Structure 1
């Protein structure tokens, strides 16, 4: 290699590093702040923000007319995503465009750019849907793990002499997410006039928690018959803690099966993508021949059926 070219390459790399550090990561502060250079009372909105707002408004106008949405507000709320459905649709569409470009680049060598681009663009919203389902499942699992401590805090607040509504508000402010968010929702609904027991029951249905359903039933029975709710919650909390111990034990015992299911599902897809990148001509028969397309379609269907079968096999209902 020519030493001059090597020195020039090193110099350009160092210059790029300096530009990255001093102009992007740590740019110099302006002499006069942007707030002082703008007219008072005028909100500065960048061109990108205006384009984003217009796009989101257009998508919201189209999506709001549909009775069933692919990404609904309740689904986003259950997944813990603080975003409007229209904004989330714009983000998914942007990600689909980027993934389509990646698919075009990957299939450029084998002449299947359009197929890979279309496949990546279609799989992006499906992946977003799966991501929402996984986030919702994890959020519900965390809520189920926090129910015993929630019941204990409520029992302690009642034993200290606080009212039930005030106790729920205190537990909502002291608990971790997602219990704090769900109980805050309960507090807001009771302030609007909804019955506390009904609001707790709806929360139990939203989070699919049988343990929290017991709490709602205990509150409903106490509102009808009276009695010492703190002692009842102590017994409910003790039962919930025992159930959680058994649930965690079952989850630990089934961890190997769940990991095996993930490996069995991801391994064929990973091998197919790896061979498509390393040897495009070796995998091109699946896209250029009718028998290859049929085999690929059958393989995809069998993989989906196998994934569903294995997921039911390793899922222990408790």
Structure 2
């Protein structure tokens, strides 16, 4: 028989022997007595301990800067279930990894550039997620109001109507309304919880809904009809918003092209003529020119966004 067959037979024999030993003498599982003590701290690995210590250090640093609450609010608006200290540690790890890769592949200048760009990339991802989440909430608001009005006409209370929206809607509306219901059940005022939803989602339309509910709690009235009226106004505003977005599409596309074109051309030149582009990176004058160009590109992009952004 060939050597491969012998190896297969030996592997099968070893597997059978291990199974027989496990069945014949299973032994007795030993549990340390410390696990029976509820006050005892569970054992942790070195890697987990290092991660917890690093997160605690980042938490203390954020506490000294006073930005913990602001960063937590941004993460909640983006729908990211991560603590600010954990995000800081993750960002530092990404920047360190990007710097090492850049140093190994392109030298110290590329590594330093990637270290600077990595936190900016993380911030851009968070900003995009927050914008998409807020846009999704605003797009679902009309259906949410119709569902609330239907629940109120059926004789349910405001809290039951909010619960119905949390169960029958999609994300992020379901998550936000579920949070309102849970906070209200533990004793928080429903108006305060709804005001925080309007603040997290950045929805001016939903702030009108909160005001309508607050006025109804004080003076009474038919809240279902009020919500229908608010829903009609929101639909008209959404239609106007879509028309404005279509009319400003050319300007937004121009901004994207003007921002990405220099980056694409620089990347192609770096591949086709690396010596030509290397002169910009190796000299101090070239680095100053690159920094100036990047700053002007950012200013131009923000300027174009301000021009094409319609406020009403």
| TM-score of the two chains, using structure 2 as the length reference | 0.80
**Corresponding residue for residue 294 of structure 2:** 300
Deviations 1:205-245 (A, max 9, x none): 33221211111111111111111111111121122122222
Question: Which of the pair is proportionally richer in helix?
Answer: 2
- Between 1:151-160 and 1:189-198, the stretch displaced more is 189-198
Q: In the TM superposition, what is the alpha-carbon distance from 1:51 to its structure 2 partner?
A: 3.7
Question: Using a 3 Å threshold, how does the CA distance of structure 1 residues 317 and 38 change in structure 2: closer, same or farther?
Answer: farther
Match of 1:64 in 2: 63
Q: CA deviation at 1:146?
A: 0.9
Match of 2:149 among 151, 155, 174: 155
The answer on whether the counterparts of 1:78 and 1:136 sit within 8 Å (CA) in structure 2 is: yes
In structure 2, C-alpha distance between the alignment counterparts of 1:74 and 1:38, rounded to whole Å: 47
Q: Deviations over 1:126-177 (max 9, x none)?
A: 2211221111111111111111111111101100111111211221122111
Which residue number corresponds to residue 12 of structure 1? none
Q: Secondary structure of 1:247's partner?
A: helix
Whose radius of gyration is greater, 1 or 2?
Answer: 2
Q: Which runs of 5+ in 2 are unaligned?
A: 1-17, 36-41
Instruction: Quote the residue 2:222 is aligned against.
Output: 228
Could you tell me which of 259, 265, 268 is aligned with 1:274? 268
2:233 aligns to what?
Answer: 239
User: Structure 2 CA distance, aligned partners of 1:266 and 1:276?
Assistant: 15
> How far did 1:316 drift?
2.1
Comparing 198-207 and 260-269, the one that deviates more: 198-207
Q: What is the match of residue 26 of structure 1?
A: none
Secondary structure at the counterpart of residue 134 of structure 2: helix
Could you tell me whether the CA contact under 8 Å between 2:102 and 2:114 is conserved in 1? yes
Task: Report the Cα offset of residue 122 of structure 1.
Answer: 1.1
| Distance (whole Å) between structure 1 residues aligned to residue 66 and residue 193 of structure 2 | 25
Q: Is the Cα–Cα contact under 8 Å of residues 73 and 200 in structure 2 kept in the other structure?
A: no
Identify if the C-alpha distance between structure 1 residues 179 and 271 changes in structure 2 by more than 3 Å, giving closer, same or farther: same
- Give runs of aligned pairs for residues 47-126 of structure 1, distance below 5 A: 48-69=47-68, 72-107=71-106, 113-126=107-120
Q: How far apart, CA to CA, are the structure 2 residues paired with 1:261 and 1:39?
A: 66
Q: Tell me if the contact between 1:182 and 1:203 (Cα under 8 Å) persists in the aligned partners.
A: yes
The question of whether the paired residues in 2 share the 8 Å contact of 1:71 and 1:85 is answered with no
Where do 5+ consecutive residues of structure 1 fail to align?
1-29, 108-112
Segment drifting more, 140-149 vs 297-306: 297-306
Give the Cα separation in 2 of the matches to 1:37 and 1:248: 69
Change (3 A) 1:116 1:144: same
Q: Match for 2:208 among 207, 214, 227?
A: 214
Q: Is the 8 A contact 2:138 2:203 kept in 1?
A: yes
| Counterpart secondary structure, 2:65 | coil
Judged with a 3 Å threshold, the aligned counterparts in structure 2 of structure 1 residues 69 and 121 are, in CA distance, closer, same or farther, namely: farther
Give 1:137-156 correspondences, 5 Å limit. Answer: 137-156=131-150
Equivalent runs, 1:145-184 vs 2, <5 Å? 145-184=139-178
Report the CA distance between 1:84 and its aligned residue: 1.7
Whether 1:259 and 2:244 are equivalent positions in the alignment is: no
Could you tell which deviates more after superposition, 117-126 or 253-262?
Answer: 253-262
Supply the RMSD in Å over aligned alpha carbons. 2.7
Using the TM superposition, name which of 194-203 and 81-90 deviates more: 194-203
3-state SS of the aligned residue for 2:187?
Answer: coil
